[in-house]
Amino acid sequence: MLTKRIIPCLDIKNGRCVKGIQFENIRDAGDPVELAKWYAAQGADELVFLDITATNEERKTFAELVRDIARHIDIPFTVGGGIGSVEDVEVLLMAGADKVSINSSAIRTPQLVEELSNRFGSQCVTVAIDTKYTDATGWKVYTRAGTIETEHGTVDWARKVVDLGAGEILLTSMNNDGTKAGFALDITKAVSEAVSVPVIASGGAGNMQHFADAFNKAHADAALAASLFHFRELEIPDLKRFLKKQGVEVRI
């Protein structure tokens, strides 16, 4: 049985870690380097660093900050935000990132997924999918930090990017994001069963049982959270001990 992963997410705006609710009402959550060091010491399996305004402001992720974070941790580290070319990825990997996450650029230029996979290996390429459910459309993919609805159904898009070479899916439910009401188990399960690569559940974690449900009910390979960890509402060692008792295989 593969070990399930617990992944804190550091959403970065203007060099600070922030957190919002349903992609809005952003508030400060601390210094990203200090948080990264804390999570590594706490037993996080990986970190995700997303520059949440890089795409909308048409600028690149801060490679210097990536370098600073990578210098202080010894766990895998994914970076996303404003990545639009092979050259962007080269800079981030050279700065110390283990993987990159692309979202809007994958929708805009799907062949970029294939180019990155061919150049760096699929294990380096995570495609982030921001998805939202409405009664009128079902689960649809959104782009540009969740501000624009696309024509893509979520499961179909996940299948497509995996076919192009994505090695992992980071699936965020905009409906659940920041609500602490639990992960979107239905769409997470649908995507997990539709693709052959790991799926990271994101959006909505509020307690330990939510993580267990993401693994046991939705078949996620990893679960990501931000505010729960940033504001010390939940400690990673406690969470892992709980999951172990629930029959979830985790690295203690």
Tokens of 10: 């550091």
Options 45, 88, 130, 213, the catalytic residue: 130
| Active-site annotation holds for 11 | yes
Is residue 225 within 8 Å of residue 205, measured between CB atoms?
A: yes
How far is it, in rounded angstroms, from Cα 239 to Cα 211?
A: 8
Dihedral, CA atoms, 76, 78, 84, 89, nearest 10 degrees?
-20
| Active-site annotation holds for 177 | no
Looking at the annotation, which residues are catalytic? 11, 130
